[in-house]
């Protein structure tokens, strides 16, 4: 027979579990999965995250903006790809993208620029029209931030701050690049950090700039800090992988799995310029690449052979490298009494032509999906 005090405590604890009315099972990966919740979903805090791929506002995109207006992409009746997400239409989303072209003067907004991504500061209007009333977080941890040098990184930081746009992964010192960003909505704290395969602290121009390196030890230290900061969801953006390949290599998979094991809740990848494989590992999502969101690589439509991965585009009736197809992933994030649920709620694909968005046909969508689903 239990001692009286212990008996009373046992009754209280047992009653709490009855009130929660939750039932769990263990899946094949030994992770806990909720299969029944009797409490009212209306009182379950939730928020919404939409992740997209690479944004490049320089070269031909910047040239067209400079000559046709910096509001041209989302103006008038032009299709806005976030309109497919009702939560974003209400201004209740958090958005995560990778900014490949930082702001600087002089810019490289010319019709046939090479691999220098230097964007005119007025292109920030495109970012403002993209986000509308939502929160926008941009990863700067990529291989092109050195294109703008110290002054460009400093200018980009100032412009983004002036426009209430958060940035992660890079700065003017290791302390700046290692500073995580958080967004708190509906009592849920989302924490973000990003890393690049070529991360380093280097002197460029008049000063030094820093990018977070893909170092598993350092990333695990950051995850520990996120835990100490009471982050509900720890979200990482990883910039790495072979370009124009739809599937990750073994190194990408091993690192992603290691970081999930270390406590990461969601991994969003990039750098390949095409949408990549979607994987669920121990109940956590890994999207190895979301491809290009806004870029001037529509030449993929003209490429039907060679060493790159291709899909069949039914509207063009030929195989193409899908550099012009943008993948958007919508995640519903719920805060349960003892854990966070992150659901891949919605996938959308759009295509761009000279930076103007349009929907893709259903057959091409399915062809793309068949290639990237695990």
| 12 pLDDT tier (thresholds 50, 70, 90) | very low
Residues 279 and 220 grouped into a single domain: yes
The torsion angles phi and psi of 107, rounded to 5 degrees, stand at: -95, 180
CB 36 within 8 A of CB 91: no
> 71-110: b or e for each residue (b if 16 or more CB lie within 10 Å)?
ebbbeeeeebbbebbebbeeebbbbbbbbbbbbbeebbbe
Task: Report the predicted TM-score, pTM, of the whole model to 2 decimal places.
Answer: 0.88
pLDDT, mean of residues 55-62: 97
Burial class for 17, CB neighbours closer than 10 Å (0-12, 13-18, 19+): exposed
State yes or no: pLDDT of 34 exceeds 70. no
pLDDT, mean of residues 274-286: 97
Residues 10 and 120 grouped into a single domain: no
Residue 302: per-residue pLDDT:
81
Residues 180 and 206 grouped into a single domain: yes
Residues 8 and 133 grouped into a single domain: no
Residues 158 and 30 grouped into a single domain: no
State yes or no: pLDDT of 205 exceeds 80. no
Based on its alpha-carbon atoms, the radius of gyration of the chain, rounded to whole angstroms, reads 22
Which region among 14-18, 315-319, 369-373 has the lowest average model confidence (pLDDT)?
14-18
pLDDT, mean of residues 67-84: 96
pLDDT, mean of residues 215-227: 97
Instruction: Return d(Cα 257, Cα 264) in angstroms, integer.
Output: 9
Polymer length of the chain: 374
Cβ atoms < 10 Å from Cβ of 23:
11
pLDDT, mean of residues 262-285: 97
**Taking each helix axis from N to C terminus, what angle separates 250-261 and 216-228, rounded to the nearest 10 degrees?**
30
State yes or no: pLDDT of 92 exceeds 80. yes
CA end-to-end span of the chain:
53
pLDDT, mean of residues 311-338: 95
- Most distant CA pair in the chain: distance in Å? 84
**CATH no. for residue 145?**
3.60.21.10
Q: What range defines the domain where residue 9 resides?
A: 1-39
| 178 pLDDT tier (thresholds 50, 70, 90) | very high
pLDDT, mean of residues 195-205: 89
The torsion angles phi and psi of 62, rounded to 5 degrees, stand at: -65, -35
Residues 17 and 112 grouped into a single domain: no
Residues 31 and 169 grouped into a single domain: no
Residue 18: per-residue pLDDT:
39
| 305 pLDDT tier (thresholds 50, 70, 90) | low
100-109 per-position pLDDT tens digit: 999 999 999 9
User: DSSP letters of 23-55?
Assistant: EEEE-TTS-EEEEEE-S-GGGS-EEEEEEEEEE
pLDDT, mean of residues 138-158: 96
| 304 pLDDT tier (thresholds 50, 70, 90) | low
CB 346 within 8 A of CB 310: no
Report how many helices (DSSP H) and strands (DSSP E) the chain contains, helices first: 9, 23
Q: How far lies 255's CA from each of 84, 204, 259, 288, 307, in Å?
A: 32, 29, 6, 11, 25
CB 66 within 8 A of CB 120: yes
pLDDT, mean of residues 150-169: 97
Instruction: Return d(Cα 374, Cα 367) in angstroms, integer.
Output: 14
Residue with tokens 């890393």: 195
Residue with tokens 């092109």: 144
Residue 65: per-residue pLDDT:
98
In 146-268, which residue ranges form alpha helices assigned H by DSSP? 149-162, 174-177, 216-228, 250-261
Residues 72 and 6 grouped into a single domain: no
Average pLDDT along the chain: 89
Structure tokens at 335: 């805060």
Instruction: Return d(Cα 130, Cα 33) in angstroms, integer.
Output: 35
CB 260 within 8 A of CB 282: yes
| 16 pLDDT tier (thresholds 50, 70, 90) | very low
> Could you give the number of structural domains in the chain?
2
Residues 24 and 100 grouped into a single domain: no
Residues 31 and 61 grouped into a single domain: no
pLDDT, mean of residues 43-65: 96
pLDDT, mean of residues 211-228: 97
Q: How far lies 116's CA from each of 102, 144, 150, 154, 185, in Å?
A: 10, 7, 15, 17, 37
Residues 27 and 53 grouped into a single domain: no
State yes or no: pLDDT of 275 exceeds 60. yes
pLDDT, mean of residues 226-244: 97
Which region among 42-56, 248-262, 263-277 has the lowest average model confidence (pLDDT)?
42-56
| 42 pLDDT tier (thresholds 50, 70, 90) | low
Residue 279: per-residue pLDDT:
97
Residues 213 and 84 grouped into a single domain: yes
């Amino acid at each position: 027979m239990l001692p009286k005090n212990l008996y009373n405590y046992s009754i209280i604890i047992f009653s709490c579990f009855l009130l929660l009315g939750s039932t769990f099972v263990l899946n094949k990966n030994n992770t806990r999965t909720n299969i029944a919740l009797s409490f009212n979903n209306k009182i379950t805090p939730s928020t919404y995250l939409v992740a997209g791929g690479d944004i490049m506002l320089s070269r031909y995109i910047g040239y067209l903006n400079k000559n046709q207006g910096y509001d041209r992409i989302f103006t008038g009746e032009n299709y806005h790809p976030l309109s497919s997400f009702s939560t974003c239409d209400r201004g209740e989303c958090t958005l995560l993208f990778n900014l490949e072209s930082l702001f600087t003067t002089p810019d490289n907004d010319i019709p046939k620029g090479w691999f220098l991504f230097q964007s005119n500061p007025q292109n920030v209007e495109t970012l403002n029209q993209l986000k509308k009333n939502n929160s926008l977080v941009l990863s700067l941890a990529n291989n092109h931030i050195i294109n703008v040098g110290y002054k460009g990184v400093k200018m980009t930081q100032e412009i983004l701050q002036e426009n209430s746009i958060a940035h992660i992964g890079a700065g003017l010192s290791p302390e700046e690049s290692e500073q995580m960003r958080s967004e708190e909505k509906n009592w849920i704290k989302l924490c973000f950090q990003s890393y690049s395969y070529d991360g380093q602290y280097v002197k460029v121009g008049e000063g030094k700039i820093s990018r977070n390196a893909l170092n598993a030890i350092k990333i695990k230290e950051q995850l520990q800090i996120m835990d100490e900061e009471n982050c509900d969801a720890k979200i990482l953006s990883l910039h790495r992988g072979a370009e124009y390949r739809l599937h990750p290599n073994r190194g990408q998979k091993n690192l992603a799995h290691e970081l999930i094991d270390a406590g990461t809740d969601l991994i969003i990848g990039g750098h390949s310029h095409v949408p990549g494989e979607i994987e669920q590992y121990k109940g956590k999502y890994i999207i190895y690449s979301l491809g290009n969101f806004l870029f001037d690589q529509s030449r993929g439509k003209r490429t039907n052979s060679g060493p790159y991965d291709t899909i069949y585009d039914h509207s063009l009736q030929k195989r193409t490298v899908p550099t012009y197809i943008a993948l958007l992933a919508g995640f519903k994030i719920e805060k349960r009494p003892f854990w966070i649920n992150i659901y891949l709620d919605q996938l959308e694909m759009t295509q761009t032509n000279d930076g103007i968005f349009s929907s893709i046909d259903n057959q091409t969508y399915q062809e793309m999906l068949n290639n990237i689903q695990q």
